[in-house]
Amino acid sequence: MSRIGKAPINVPNGVQISISDKNLVTVKGPKGTLVQQVDPDMTLKQDNGVVTLERPSDAKPHRAKHGLYRALIANMVKGVSEGYVIEQELVGVGYRATAKGQRLELALGFSHQVALELPAEIKVSAAQEKGKNPIIRLESADKQLIGAVAAKLRSLRKPEPYKGKGVRFVGENVRRKAGKAAGK
């Protein structure tokens, strides 16, 4: 049996979960509201601040979805109660980031500025300290959305293996290559 799927989801104080008859799960908390459609084969039970998921059989699709939907609902509960934060740094000479509301403008060594319009669910801030790399901070209650936006930012200029320049996550280790050997 799925170890992830059978684990109960503890609902902290201040978070409300409502399950409709069509398996539409709505989670409300101090950081926002998230909605997820759960497969109709799965049964959701809620009692005394604990949500559990049960599957109808041990068929392979049911086993796969059991852990998936439990993880999605647990991520929603954590998101609306604590939220998620992703920090990325821009490594490279002249790389800059400025945040104006939901608009993020990046200078990544191209001949033009790269401008991104971020979804309303994400709070963005950019910090630049002298002598340090610029840091972009993303905050959201939706783990899937913030991960997709962070991946999009990183894809604009992936860290290259020779000098390590590019957009990377704070604390990410980039494998470096030696480069060309010196002449004879």
pLDDT band at 3 (very low <50, low <70, confident <90, very high): confident
CATH number of the domain to which 122 belongs: 3.90.930.12
pLDDT band at 112 (very low <50, low <70, confident <90, very high): very high
Is 182's pLDDT higher than 70? no
Q: Which residue type sits at 79?
A: G
Is 122's pLDDT higher than 80? yes
Please, are residues 55 and 66 in contact by the beta-carbon 8 Å criterion? yes
In a domain, residue 180? The reply is: no
Q: Choose one of 42, 61, 81: the last residue of a domain.
A: 81
Among 111, 90, 85, smallest CA distance to 154 is for: 90
Structural domain boundaries, residue 118: 84-169
In a domain, residue 61? The reply is: yes
Give yes or no: residues 111 and 40 share one domain. Answer: no
Is 181's pLDDT higher than 80? no
pTM: predicted TM-score of the whole model, two decimal places: 0.88
Cα 94 to its chain centre, rounded Å, is 27
Question: Total structural domains in the chain?
Answer: 2
pLDDT band at 116 (very low <50, low <70, confident <90, very high): very high
Give yes or no: residues 69 and 91 share one domain. Answer: no
Following CA atoms 173, 175, 176, 177 in sequence, which dihedral angle do they give, to the nearest 10 degrees? 180
